[in-house]
């Protein structure tokens, strides 16, 4: 232990001696490549500009906020850094320059941007069954989420990734024809949040952030 302390002391004295001899000597802090910086989570999807009825706009705004929180909680954190949610909407038309500026401001090397979000019901098929008094028709519906994410690296434009995931939700009788009105997504709010969460987790499972 004493020998180790003497070696450390010698190195310190030697370093100060070099500094005294060479006025150009400047101390440097070396950043490890394993510390890539922070990551931002940003929304650029302007729900209020859409031609939705009021309660559907409200639902979609809540879905976007929920998606940001899911990404914040489920994204692998950078080594030595942190995830930061940007609360304000960043309009898509101005996104490149503003997002790069935000990344610089927050010490981030990457940013996940929500470009588009949709949650809806999709009729997958109509099953026709012959019966004694005629035919019966049953329509099947999936609940789906379609979300476009964009991953920014510092100094480069973003890379889009569109994720669509669907799962069976319900079936109902069709009086005539081959199409039936599906469930109302606003009335199935809890299920909309669930499918959006699954979409986010699917995206994160496909994206490699820290190489």
What pLDDT is recorded for position 32? 36
Residues in Cβ contact with 41 at an 8 Å cutoff, skipping those fewer than 6 apart: 68, 71, 72, 75, 83, 84, 85, 86, 111, 112
Say if 157 falls within a structural domain.
Answer: yes
Residues in the chain: 211
Say if 56 falls within a structural domain.
Answer: yes
* CA 11 – CA 113 distance, rounded (Å): 48
What pLDDT is recorded for position 132? 66
> How many alpha carbons fall within 13 Å on the CB side of residue 92?
13
Burial of 168 (0-12, 13-18, 19+ CB in 10 A): exposed
Say if 58 falls within a structural domain.
Answer: yes
Tally of structural domains, the chain: 1
* CA 11 – CA 185 distance, rounded (Å): 69
Say if 193 falls within a structural domain.
Answer: yes
Domain span holding position 202:
35-206
**Residue 140: beta bridge partners?**
125, 171
Say if 4 falls within a structural domain.
Answer: no
Q: What is the pLDDT of residues 31-41, one digit of tens each?
A: 334 446 899 99
Reply yes or no on whether the pLDDT at 45 is more than 50.
yes
Say if 3 falls within a structural domain.
Answer: no
Q: What is the pLDDT of residues 166-202, one digit of tens each?
A: 999 998 887 765 566 779 999 999 999 999 999 999 9
**CA distances for 143 relative to 32, 50, 122, angstroms:** 45, 21, 6
* CA 81 – CA 77 distance, rounded (Å): 7
Q: What is the pLDDT of residues 68-104, one digit of tens each?
A: 999 999 998 887 789 999 999 998 756 788 999 999 9
What pLDDT is recorded for position 92? 72
Do residues 6 and 76 make contact, with C-beta atoms less than 8 angstroms apart?
no
**CATH number for 78:** 3.30.160
Say if 74 falls within a structural domain.
Answer: yes
Say if 57 falls within a structural domain.
Answer: yes
The token pair that represents 65 in the structure block: 């906020």
Q: Going along the chain, which residue ranges are E strands?
A: 38-43, 83-85, 108-131, 134-153, 159-174
The token pair that represents 192 in the structure block: 């909309």
Helix (H, G, I), strand (E, B) or coil at 46: coil
What pLDDT is recorded for position 91? 85
């Amino acid at each position: 232990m004493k020998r180790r302390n003497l070696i450390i002391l010698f190195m310190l004295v030697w370093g100060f001696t070099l500094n005294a001899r060479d006025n150009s000597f400047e101390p440097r802090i070396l950043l490890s490549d394993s510390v890539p910086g922070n990551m931002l989570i940003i929304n650029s999807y302007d729900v209020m500009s859409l031609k939705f009825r009021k309660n559907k706009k409200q639902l979609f705004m809540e879905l976007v906020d929920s998606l940001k929180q899911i990404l914040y909680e489920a994204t692998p954190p950078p080594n030595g850094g942190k995830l930061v949610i940007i609360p304000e909407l960043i309009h898509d038309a101005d996104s490149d320059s503003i997002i790069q500026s935000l990344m610089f401001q927050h010490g981030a090397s990457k940013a996940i941007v929500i470009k588009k979000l949709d949650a809806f019901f999709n009729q997958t098929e109509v099953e026709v069954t012959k019966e004694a008094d005629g035919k019966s028709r049953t329509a099947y519906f999936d609940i789906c989420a379609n979300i476009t994410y964009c991953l920014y690296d510092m100094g480069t434009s973003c890379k889009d990734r569109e994720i669509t995931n669907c799962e069976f939700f319900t079936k109902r009788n069709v009086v005539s024809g081959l199409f039936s009105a599906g469930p109302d997504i606003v009335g199935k709010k809890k299920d909309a949040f669930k499918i959006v969460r699954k979409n986010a987790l699917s995206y994160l499972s496909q994206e490699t952030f820290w190489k």
